Chains A and B, each alone.
Chain A
Amino acid sequence: AQSVTQLGSHVSVSEGALVLLRCNYSSSVPPYLFWYVQYPNQGLQLLLKYTSAATLVKGINGFEAEFKKSETSFHLTKPSAHMSDAAEYFCAVSKIQGAQKLVFGQGTRLTINP
């Protein structure tokens, strides 16, 4: 079975500050890992994904995440927060083989303070 834990349901940072959203996963098989962003009343947009290539993954909008197998983590970072980054962020895991169903974490709401 696979699961994802996002530490912190709500994170608040100042504009221009570092953004760090934490994600830990559990998987009995090598995983694929994803970060999605959701704006109010909208679907999900893929920020970045880890698919067993480079452990440091760069995504859209200046976000990046590092896969650390020893820590079973896939934390999302951005050096300098922008007001437009305010949204809900979801970490997700899937298996490499099979139906590749996504299992989502509970989400982290990011608030940016001016």
Chain B
Amino acid sequence: GAVVSQHPSRVICKSGTSVKIECRSLDFQATTMFWYRQFPKQSLMLMATSNEGSKATYEQGVEKDKFLINHASLTLSTLTVTSAHPEDSSFYICSARLDRNNEQFFGPGTRLTVL
């Protein structure tokens, strides 16, 4: 099956710093990737849709200047949390959509802790 990886799996950073999370589709090309955020014991909330070669589409209430998304190739999308604060601490999950059948395959997630 299609495999999606995320790096890093876990990151701890100081308040005010920026953190980059990578999402890679390992064995398929993905024109579209999605970024989700999941708070403890809660559901996944879509943050943005990442489109290869174009600007990401952000969901209402998500600050595009704070959560920078770059989808520079068909196998890589990055999410950069800028000037991170403790309230940004969360589990970030990406998914990549297989163009052939539109099925989304999820990465293992990245746990961000901002001190």
The residue in B4, B34, B43, B106 that gathers the most chain A C-beta atoms within 10 A of its C-beta is: B43
Given A90-B44, A104-B43, A107-B42 in contact, is the A99-B107 Cβ separation under 8 Å?
Answer: no
Binding-face segment, A18-26, A38-46, A65-73, A75-83: A38-46
Contact B93 A43 (CB under 8 A): yes
Cα of A36 to Cα of B44 in the assembled complex, Å: 11
Interface size class of B (residues with CB under 8 A): 20 to 34
Cα of A41 to Cα of B45 in the assembled complex, Å: 16
| Chain A at the B interface: SS class | loop
Scan residues 75-111 of chain A and give those whose CB is less than 8 A from a CB of chain B: 90, 99-107
| Chain B at the A interface: SS class | strand
List the B side residues contacting A104 at CB < 8 Å.
43-45
B113 to chain A, nearest CB (A): 13
Given contacts A46-B105, A107-B41, list 7 more A-B pairs with CB under 8 A: A46-B103, A99-B32, A100-B97, A102-B34, A102-B44, A104-B43, A106-B42
Given A46-B103, A102-B46 in contact, is the A41-B34 Cβ separation under 8 Å?
Answer: no
